Structure 1
Amino acid sequence: MTKDKSYTQILKSTSIFGGSQILTILIGVIRNKILAILLGTVGVGLISIYQSTLDLIKSISSLGIETTGVREIAAANDDSGEKDQLHYVISIIDRWALIFALLGAAICLLFCYPISMWVFGNSSHALQFALLSICMFFTILAAGQAVVLQGLRRISYIVKSSIIWNVCGLIISLPLYYFYRLDGIVPVFIVVSIAMYLSAYFYRRKIEIQPMPVSFEHLKRRGISVLRVGVFIVLASILTTLSFFFVRAFLTKNTGLESVGLFQAAWTITNVYLMLILKSMGSDFYPRLCTIIHDNKKAGLLINEQTYIVLVIAVPIIILLLLCSKIALSLLYSSDFEGATIILNWQILGTFFKVLSWPLGFILLAKGKGLIYFFSESAFLIIYLGAIHCLYPFYDFESVGISYLIAYSLYLPIVFILGRKLSKFGWTNENLRIGFISLILVLLAFCIVKYFSNYTIIAGIPILVMSLSYSLYKLNKVFPLKSLLDFFKRQ
């Protein structure tokens, strides 16, 4: 693939997937507004605790199939003429997804009482966790369907599936939250998970895949081989989930449950809404990288191209969020959540380093270096938790945001060094220049918002305009804007 075509492919997949994310964000805005009005900070905090617990159980029971499965399917799909091998790999992934779904549901069901005691300190939520076994079952099954779609790079199917379950989830959750308030939380979890699975299954069935017979011995042998990397991904995911559970527990103990709701609001903006940008790119980038990862030159070129696009698209959004952080919290939640601004701005600044490290992290996964990936993720979490512990006595709630910035600013050189060791990767001079200029603009916006908030509009808007102009100029160099406009018109 030529350089121009590669940039075109990146922009194409990003525009298709990103377009759906706009709708997802709008749905999220409506949903969060409903949660803020009907459930308040306590309800948002309760949902956060349920979600983090489910994430932990899912991490344990799914054994990294969402990452390793995509890697295996993408590699098999690259072997031209080997359709039987591709269908065989998909059949194995399907069977393991079902096994993991049953395992996840069993953990929720069998350990509902101890989970409630562990999370809440009493058994009052044991029934809720037992019912959430249904949610866990369909969530993992849906992940198995999504793995096939992403591994085969069926971006349009992923997009349509995402739109369907988000819209259905919103429509059904409205009356449940209105009539049942806090009691409607668990039913909403279940309904959304079923909608997620059905929509993914519908589009998965559109692909002509011949089911292949797989003996138990082959299932075990190939599965163990595929999931060996997944074990380390699971360990990293468990460690991540536990870490953020400890952060929420720490905040609950020291500042109350409302602070957990504020933390969740800031976390959602920086790690859900901004991650939608990266997810839009990663849906196609990761499978492409898996097919060429053994060619260091091609892999390095693709990573630099992806980094270029990440910077020109994400940086103006980061600056915009910095300038509108308080407005964003009021719009997405309510005025009760404006207290989250104190950590949100620090986290948005840290996101700049996150988007730079994001393409590098895929090197470890595409190379199948599970242990090294676990090391890098553990390093981030140790720095993050350690910084909170050290800074909290001095900065109180704000320490959570400052620690986020510190952790990602140190995580970036870690994954860069690891990526360079594994694939001889290095940033191009062009990317270094863009990164330096972007960092200056982001720091200026942060300083204005943090220390000169009265001048946010006067001084902040020119910085945003400069960032947008610079990004459009750089985008025009790899994909002429006239062609870009024509491309969007054809979609």
Structure 2
Amino acid sequence: MDKDSSYKKTLKSTAVFGGAQAIQMLITILRAKLIAVIFGSHGMGINAIFQSTISIISSFSSFGIFQSAVRDISQEFENGDEKKLSRINLIFNRMVWAVGCFGLLVCLFGAFWLSKIAFQNFDYSIHFLILSLGIFFSALSNGQTVFLQGTRNLTALAKASIVGAFLSLLISIPLFYYFGILGIAISIASGSLILYITQYYLTRKIKLDKTINLTVKETIAAGKPILKLGTVLMLGMVILTGFTYLTNIFIGRYGKIADVGFFQGISSITTQSIAIVIAVLASDFFPRLSAIFQDRQKVKVMVNQQAELVSLIIAPISVILITAAPIIVKVLLSKEFLIMVPMLRLLALSLLARGIWLIMSYVILANGDKKAYLIYDSLIGNGLLFICNVFAYKVWGLNGLAISSLIASIGISVILMTVVKIKYGFGFDKGFIKIFFMLILLAVSAYFGVYVLKGWPQYSFSFFLGILTFGYSLFILNKRIGILNRVKSFLESKN
């Protein structure tokens, strides 16, 4: 496959799944808006602690099989052997049910202690009992997601994401009003159930060899490679979610729960703004990269193209978040969060570095390098972010967390690029580097512009920077694949 065809395929995958993620992102933001309006920053803080608790238990109890199995399923799908694909799917499904039950039991029997650790009382024990069901159905849902990712069935995955998120939002509204804070836990658990049911309905028609059967002993033996890599990935995820959990607990202990809500509310805006990029990297880029990881030249082409595309998408988002931060905060959250506008702008400035961080992580994972991923990405990377967060919060308060995020994201990206260069001989080409630094210049200009200028000059400059950034991204895309001609041809065909 030539470079142009590969770039078109990458862009098409991004457009198909990215469109669905945009809708899902909007629905997630609306849910956060509901919590912010109904419960305020205190409710946002409780929701953040619930979500981080679920994440760390799910990461620990899953033993990393979801990240590990994507690699195996994508390779078997690439080989085109239906029997082998059916066999690995059977093994993986059995492992999914096992880890799902394990996660449920951990949360169920640890509910009282989880409430004590998170809130310093037992008042939220019933909430964690309910969340145990969310962990179980989330595991089953993740299992379906992995199979769809590995078999490149992005259309079904996109449909399930949209329908599941929309139905979850609909039931959340009465739950919040009727059950109050308890409704947050119920909505999380029911959302996981709805998503699983939706995905199961869409995947049941996929043809697989149903005659394959394995004993428990054979399943365990065949599942060891998945479990071996998965255990390392699980440790990485536990470290990541653990540091996130400790950050929330640290802010709540040395500040107040409302501070956790402020931090998570603003962080959710930046996270959701690039949710499309994150989802595409996990759902399309990683499986495709895993399937060709032995061909270094193909890997180099794919990674450079994906990095360029990701940066061209993130840059306009970053500039919009920086220049329109007050409006975005009022629309997506509430006026209570306006004091956090400086944090949002700094976090937006770190998004380009976060994109590189993610891509480098997937390069390491696609190579199956367990040790490098655990040490450099999970331990050093997230450890550095946590240390920076603690120091910055003590010195500068909540806005310091944005400063630490910017510094840590840049530092971790540089560390991972160095590791990838030394271990695999991979580096970005000059064309991408030139584009990347141009995008950084535009984002930095937008950031300083909103503080140096005031009134109409600021609005005019911000509008100009936004148009310039979007125009530059469109110019590069048009240069690569002639996107304007494609749009023109499409419109003409409809007339």
Mapping of 1:376-415 within 5 angstroms? 376-415=377-416
1:312 matched residue in structure 2? 312
Match for residue 464 of structure 1 among 439, 463, 466 = 466
Q: Work out the CA distance in 1 between the residues paired with 2:276 and 2:54.
A: 21
Contact 2:108/2:128 (8 A) holds in 1: yes
124 and 379 in structure 1: CA distance in 2 versus 1, 3 angstrom threshold: same
Structure 1: how far apart are the matches of 2:490 and 2:91? 38
Matched AA of 1:440: L
Residue in 2 that maps onto 1:428: 429
User: 1 CA distance for matches of 2:378 and 2:319?
Assistant: 26
Equivalence for 1:148: 147
- Aligned partners of 1:140, 1:353: CA distance in 2, in Å? 30
CA RMSD in angstroms, aligned pairs only = 1.8
> In the aligned structure 1, how far is the partner of 2:453 from the partner of 2:162?
40
- More displaced, 341-350 or 154-163? 341-350
Q: Match of 2:128?
A: 129
Give the corresponding residue for 1:73.
73
Distance (whole Å) between structure 1 residues aligned to residue 183 and residue 146 of structure 2: 30
Letter in 2 for 1:459: F
Mapping of residues 70-469 of structure 1, within 5 Å: 70-80=70-80, 82-211=81-210, 212-375=212-375, 376-452=377-453, 454=455, 455-469=457-471
Q: Is the 8 Å Cα contact of residues 354 and 408 (structure 1) preserved in structure 2?
A: yes
Aligned partners of 2:452 and 2:413: how far apart in 1?
26
Structure 2 match to 1:476: 478
Q: Which stretch of the first structure deviates more once superposed, 205-214 or 159-168?
A: 205-214
Q: Quick check: 301-310 or 372-381, which moved more? A: 372-381
Check whether the contact 1:322–1:445 (CA below 8 A) recurs between aligned residues: yes
Q: Contact 1:265/1:340 (CA < 8 Å) preserved in 2?
A: no
Measured against aligned partners, the alpha-carbon deviations of 1:142-167 in whole angstroms (never above 9, x if no partner) come to 00011000000001000000011011
Task: Give the distance between the partners of 1:134 and 1:278, measured in 2 at CA.
Answer: 26
Residues 424, 409 of structure 1: alpha-carbon distance in 2 compared, 3 angstrom cutoff: same
Q: State the Cα distance separating 1:245 from its structure 2 match.
A: 1.5
- Aligned 8 A contact 1:14 1:280 in 2: yes
CA contact (8 A) 1:311 1:435 kept: yes
Unaligned runs of 5+ in 2: none
| Structure 2 residue 8 is the aligned partner of structure 1 residue 8 | yes
Structure 2 Cα separation of the partners of residues 258 and 117 of structure 1: 18
Offset of residue 450 of structure 1: 4.4
Name the SS of the counterpart of 1:427 in structure 2. Answer: coil
Equivalent pair of 1:231/1:370 in contact (CA under 8 Å):
no
Residues 281 and 359, structure 2, Cα contact 8 Å, conserved in 1: no
Q: CA deviation at 1:315?
A: 0.8
The structure-2 alpha-carbon separation of the partners of 1:453 and 1:100, relative to structure 1 and needing over 3 Å to count, comes to farther
Report the 3-state secondary structure (helix = DSSP H, G, I; strand = E; otherwise coil) of the residue aligned with 1:159. helix
1:15-36 deviations in whole A, cap 9, x for unaligned? 1111112222332232222111
Could you tell me whether the CA contact under 8 Å between 2:263 and 2:398 is conserved in 1? no
Relative to the length of structure 1, the TM-score reads 0.96
CA distance in 1, matches of 2:228, 2:73: 16
Cα distance per residue 1:99-127 (max 9 Å; x no partner): 01100101111111111122121221112
Distance in 2 between residues matched to 1:303 and 1:438, nearest whole Å: 18
Cα pair 1:70 1:150 within 8 Å, conserved: yes
Q: State the distance in 1 between where 2:369 and 2:488 align.
A: 41
Alignment length, in residue pairs?
Answer: 490
Q: Name the amino acid aligned to 1:169.
A: S
Q: Shift in Å at residue 263 of structure 1?
A: 0.4
Q: CA–CA distance in 1 between the matches of 2:245 and 2:337?
A: 20
1:7 deviates by 1.1
Alignment CA distance shift 1:416-1:113 (3 Å): same
